[in-house]
Each structure stands twice: as C-alpha cells, then as structure tokens.
Structure 1
C-alpha cells in the first residue's frame, strides 16, 4: 500500500479532478465475480476514489434489504475480505480508506467472524459501560485485522417507536441519556484502537415507521422536540469530539424550508443545523446513496451525488455513478468547497491509515459475551420467588425456535399441533422462546398460529417464559399473564447458559429493559 502523504502536501499535489474523486466511496462486495472485481479496480485507478464501503454481496446490500435475492454463503469471507482490500489498495494511487458497517462486529457483514451483542442488549447493561467500551475495542481489533479503518457505527438514534422497521435492536434504547452513555463508551473503545467511528443516522431515525432503504420516513416533530430528544445524543457526542457523522435519508419538515428534500441531500439540515448550529466540523458521510428513499427520485446519473455533496456531505457512500458524479461536481462546485471537503477527508485518512499491515488475529467474543449476558439478563415480569416456587412443580419444558432454514411452514405448524397434544394435560410450562428473526417484518417471522398457541398457553397454564431475541417481539404475547418473563436478548450460547443459571437460582437478573414495549 502506498504511504499516506501529509494533508498539506496532498492539497498541493492532487489535481482538482483527483480531489473530487476522493469524495467518492463506492460499495465493494465480498462475493463479486472476477469481472466485477476488475471493474472496481479500474474505477479506483482511473477516478481516484477515496475509499470503499464493504458489503457481503450485491444480494445483501441496501436495496435488497428485505431479501428478495438469494444470498450466497461464503465460508471463507474473512480471507476474501482481506485479499480484496489488499488488491484494491494496490490499484489506488493514494491509499483508500476502508469502511464497513460493524455495529455488532464484522459478523454484521462477514460470516464466520466474531459477533458481539446488539446495541439493545448493551443498552440493558445500564451500570456496566465498561463492557460496551470493550465491545467497541474488540470490534476495532477485528477491523484492523481485516484492513478496515472505519467502523460506520454506533447508531445513536433514540428508538422511541416500537414499530420502527429498521432501527429497533440497533439502538441502545429509548432513553437519550442511556444512548449517550453507551455510544460514548463504544466510541472511546473503538478510538482506543485507532479505528474511526461514525454517529448515525442524523438527524435521528428512531421515531419512524418507514424503512429508509425502501421509502422516505417523515419525522413530524417540532425543532424543540428534536433538540430535546433526537438531536440530543448527536450534540453530546459532537461536543466530546467524534470522527464523523452519517446523515440519514429522512424528511424532517421542522428543520428545512423544503420538507420534500431528504436530510441526506438537504443543505438546511447538513450545513445549517449540523455544521452551523451544532458546531460539527468533522467529516460528514451520506447514508448509502443507492437507498430507495433518495435514489429512485434522481434518474439523471451524477445529479444525486452532486446534490449530496452540495448539501454538505464530504463522503458520498455507496455512490453508484462515479464518473458522472465527478463531472457534475467539477461543473457546479466552487474550488473552495472542494478544498474544504478534501482537507477534512485527508485529515481523517492521516489519522487512520497507518503504513503497515496489521497481523492481529480475530478476537474471541465468548468471554466478553458471557459477561454481557450476565449483566443484561432482565426480569421483565414476575419475581425470582415465583420462579423458585415454579421449579418445585412437575413442569414441562417447551422450546419454540427455528432449527435450520430447511423447515417448511407445514413442518412448523405440524410441530405446533404436536405441542398442543403434548401439553394438553400439563399445568406448568417452562417456555423457551426464540423469535425466528431479529427484524420486525412479518411479526418477527412468527406465524399467526404460533402467536395464538403461545397466548393460549399463557392464558390457560402457569408459564415461565425465557425470551432469547429482540424484546420488541414480546408485544405479541400477554406477558402480564405469565408467572414470570425473563429477557435474554440474544440466542448465543453464552446467553442461553446465563438464562439456565438464572433459572437454577445461581445468578441474579441485573439488566434493565432499555425500551418500552407499549
């Protein structure tokens, strides 16, 4: 990899066209064909793009958010990622800054890599911010092992809408102070390993019922309300000093004279609010510009890229029309505008790109995950005393979860019928429940028959429920009628083991639910 030159030298050496190329951060994909890899190498070489954002495959990227295309499993993804980063760096005249979404570890994008708990689980650790610091630190180590400089996280959206289709479990919760505390710990942990972070999704994606991958969410709140809640974590962390802020695709009428213009391409919001009013002078990166909230409205190639840059974004993430975008910006932008952005970007590169390849091994998430499991386990309803009393009965254990991807709907519903027969004469049920999916689409993957069966159990039996997944899924169940409900948040082995220890009376449930389920 070429050595990064100092910012002052770069500003003098790079041509204006090269500087504009540095604004672009196209997507790179682990599972690309050789032909697609060579096309990206050519793009890097000819247009001097400044960085890359890695995704697993074209089928799993932002516009396929609901999984309409088959996602290929690549058992050697981590090795592929390292090789591709090395290859793309060799194609670049100036070192590329490499980014990835690793909110809960490289596992968010790369299979067979360490996975740490979701933000909502960390949010339940209200008294243990040091564990969140360690998560940020260990994820940063994995990023360095891959050759990644920039973890596009944490999410600092305050998730006040239980029906939020895209944030939810990715948020630390619905309390702004807890979000600030956890995000601060995560950022500091990441920075301790010299890896960059990015606060997202400005000006706040927590109170939406629309997925911005698919449409434009509207945040219909007054500016005063936004300053008190949605903007609060951004301001607090900006005041502490952060590397970058990612701007989401949101309609926020109270912050702009043009409510139809999404925040990601809105000068009132980026330059006006974020830069001028909130005092942020670091790098602003757009959310993926291929997302349907913006991309479908700008059919002229390069126009969207220009609008994003002109609004105040320095880095154009997942830009799809590089050549045309460069020409649009060269034609319309002032030289001073370009110089200011390239100076910000290059300072970020100087900070993060170290002239040596890290030989760090991937981290082992198990010990840390176990500690987080112990601290986050939450007694949501009932009491330990009632669980102790329940244990003395002749209870029956039922497990409801998906075992493998080859189970058909018929298999699952037939299994429910069998369970109904099994528990007909039982009075006490220990129910171990894992929602089929972490995202809320289609009722978290539950069939109506499953929801009905579980609610009938709760209504007619004494049920102690242990829930291993997104707590928002509990809104479909009458937990107030259970003997006790305990939330474990994840279905990792560490969380299952801790739940078992709690049931046996060997551990106290110390966590606090970081969101309201009403």
Structure 2
C-alpha cells in the first residue's frame, strides 16, 4: 500500500514538472517574449503558427486585405446610381417649376402635393420665379420642405443676375445689385463682390444654384434680349469679369451657371419668341464668344446653360439639340465636365417648332444632362424612357448624365 502511494506521488511530481516546462516555453514564445537563439543570444520572438507564418505577417496580410476592400468599395454616387430605376434616373434629368411638378398654379407652399409629386417624379431640380416668392421666411420654409420630401437632394435655383433680371431683390428684399453691365469698368473685385453678395443672400434662403452669370457679350447693339444683362460689350473684358464672378458665387455659397452657350449677344432675335440665329463662323465664335465661357469654366462654374441658338455655320438645329455644339464644342473642345442644362423648353423657339417628345430625346442625344422646364414633364419623362426601350437611346447614355448630376450633388452634400 505504501509502495503504491509512493509511486503515485512520483507520477504526480513528474506530470507537474513536465507541465511547468511546457508553460515556460509557451510564455517565452509569445510576442515580445525573450528566447535564447541558437548562438546563445537573447532576442524578441514572434508567434509562429502551424502554417509557418508569424502573427505579424498574418496581421499585415489582414490589414492589406482590409485596405484593398476599402479601395474597392463603391462610391456613394455608384451606390446611388446602381439602386435607381430608369424612371428615377430620367426624373433626375428634369429641372422644373413647382407648378409643373405639382399641377397647381402659383405655388408658394411645399406641402402634401409637393411631397406626393416628388415621390412619383423625383426630379433633379426646382426653379422658382417671382410668383413663388412672398417673404424670406416663406421661401425658406418652402425650400426646406421640398428638400425634406426629396429622396435625393434637389438643385434649387432661380435667375438672380442683378438689375433687370432678379427674382429675389424685388420680391423678398435681398440686397439690390444693379445690372452687371454698369459695373464693367469697376474691375475684377467689384464683379467678385457683387456675385458674392447675391450668392450669400440666396444661400441664406436655401437656394444652392443661381442661373447666372450671363457669359454673353453685348456685341450687337440691336440685341435686346441680352443687352445690359451682359458683363461687357468687349470679349476680353467680359471673360475677365465673368471668371471673377464665378469665384464670387462659389465663395458666397451657391453653384452658378454660365449662359447662354454658345453666346446670345450677337443675335437680333429673342429666342423666347422665335428662332434666334448667330451669323458668325465657328472660327469667329471660338475666338470671341468662347472667351467668357472658357474663363468661367476654368474658374469652376458647375453648370453651363445651352441656348436655343442656331449657328448655320455649325448646325441647322438649335444648340440645345445639336451634338456638334453641346458635345463637340462644349465637352470636347472646351473640356467642360460639369452639368449641361438646356434653356427653358417652354420658350417658343423650341415649343413652336418641336414636339415635347422629339425635343427632349434630341437634346439627350445631343449630350444635354438636364432639361429645363419641359412643357409637359410627364410626357418628357415618358418619351425618354420609351426611347431607351426602343433602343433609340441607351441606358448607358442616361447613366452618363445622371452620374454628372449625382457627382455634383455629392460634392454639395445633397446625396442622402
């Protein structure tokens, strides 16, 4: 009995010794532990896994994998675009009045009608005119509610050039700025400050886009539609002033729009009421009319508004429907990467000569990104959708424009 007890005690002691040795070696092998190398030196040891790799190597591999995954993660624009239906994409290309959106007259409130309309037609932008503007508080509330109802943030715009074309100064009492033409000899700083003031007032009310500055040059004294709305009657001076105005608008908190491409200042006709012709050669236009547009684009203008101008030396159709002008010159020659928007499709130069369906499809084919004030929004949307279904337009072409729109919206915090 005593002999068996002794044997048992010896076995227990041996097991305890073996376990202690094992634990000691395991402790020395941990990261940061000290072990004796073959040469007798002591150093820091790294954990070695069954596969033969160290824990440091595995950690590095894990971090590298994480970094690659982050790089490959789709952008907010990609995610948004991928989740949109064709209908939603086409609606983003529409820039409409609140009346066209809701079917109501004289809209001054964004309520249930606006909410329901934006659910059915999630348009890309809303443009307001004097009849929509009653007081600063009313404008703020109307715009704020519209933004809340929209699944993708809206471009909210008006025409606030100063002087003869203003929507806010004469209605809700923002700072009055006179016609730009009368400041032309006051220099760059005045052009910047005037634009900054206009933009700052607009931004405070909730607007994020101004359909200004006018980049046309009053080169034809008989021109009545542009006239004193231009910054100058000299191409070089207009270019210098427009570039500084673009910086002023941006610093003041709103995006801006160069208009009316490729230049409405030499026309005798008013495109609001009839076809308007630019009787200049392409070479002359590129040398002269393009100066303010180039300057504005280089200064960072986010939008270019293309006018319903026929340039016989380039094309027989209005610029808004012309691939040679809207894509060939604006995109390819001037390298504009922002959003190209049409002038109003309610203007008689388009409305009297083309059906809504034909005009909107032709404009998208030409390279336009957004349609301003289609005469019948539902018909315009349907006609583009049908053109895609029929193979007349590709969905890739639609995606091209919507990507530009969403990219700009993301940069302004309008993607939710």
**8 Å CA contact 2:154, 2:414 repeated in 1:** no
How does the TM-score come out when normalised to structure 2?
A: 0.74
2 CA distance for matches of 1:123 and 1:308? 34
Matching residue of 2:149: 91
Q: 1:15 to 1:33 in 2, by over 3 A?
A: closer
Matching residue of 2:136: 78
**8 Å CA contact 1:212, 1:250 repeated in 2:** yes
1:21 aligns with 2:91: yes
Matching residue of 1:351: 411
1:161 aligns with 2:204: no
Unaligned 5+ segments in structure 1 are: 59-73, 357-518
**8 Å CA contact 1:123, 1:182 repeated in 2:** yes
How does the TM-score come out when normalised to structure 1?
A: 0.60
**8 Å CA contact 1:106, 1:114 repeated in 2:** no
Correspondence 1:349-498 to 2 at 5 A = 349-353=409-413
Q: 1:9 to 1:23 in 2, by over 3 A?
A: same
1 CA distance for matches of 2:396 and 2:214? 32
1:264 aligns with 2:320: yes
1:342 aligns with 2:398: no
**8 Å CA contact 1:284, 1:314 repeated in 2:** yes
Pairwise CA distance, 1:8:
2.2
1 CA distance for matches of 2:291 and 2:333? 13
Matching residue of 1:330: 385
Q: 1:239 to 1:33 in 2, by over 3 A?
A: closer
Instruction: Give deviations 1:364-397, integer Å, cap 9, x for gaps.
Output: xxxxxxxxxxxxxxxxxxxxxxxxxxxxxxxxxx
Q: 1:105 to 1:219 in 2, by over 3 A?
A: closer
Matching residue of 1:206: 265
Matching residue of 1:151: 210
Q: 1:336 to 1:223 in 2, by over 3 A?
A: same
**8 Å CA contact 2:244, 2:299 repeated in 1:** no
Unaligned 5+ segments in structure 2 are: 1-74, 388-392
Partner SS, residue 196 of structure 2:
helix
1:122 aligns with 2:161: no
Matching residue of 2:125: 51
Question: In the comparison of the two structures, how many residue pairs are matched?
Answer: 330
Partner SS, residue 340 of structure 2:
strand
2 CA distance for matches of 1:105 and 1:262? 28
Pairwise CA distance, 1:28:
2.9
Pairwise CA distance, 1:216:
1.1
Matching residue of 1:500: none
Partner SS, residue 285 of structure 1:
strand
Instruction: Give deviations 1:97-135, integer Å, cap 9, x for gaps.
Output: 11111111898113122221211012121xx31121111
**8 Å CA contact 2:306, 2:320 repeated in 1:** yes
Instruction: Give deviations 1:470-509, integer Å, cap 9, x for gaps.
Output: xxxxxxxxxxxxxxxxxxxxxxxxxxxxxxxxxxxxxxxx
Pairwise CA distance, 1:31:
7.6
Q: CA RMSD in A?
A: 2.5
Pairwise CA distance, 1:39:
4.8
Matching residue of 1:307: 362
Pairwise CA distance, 1:26:
0.6
Matching residue of 1:185: 244
2 CA distance for matches of 1:335 and 1:206? 36
Partner SS, residue 252 of structure 2:
coil
1:316 aligns with 2:371: yes
In the TM superposition, structure 1's runs of 4+ consecutive aligned residues that sit over 6 Å from their partners are 34-37
Q: 1:211 to 1:311 in 2, by over 3 A?
A: same
Greater Rg by CA: 2
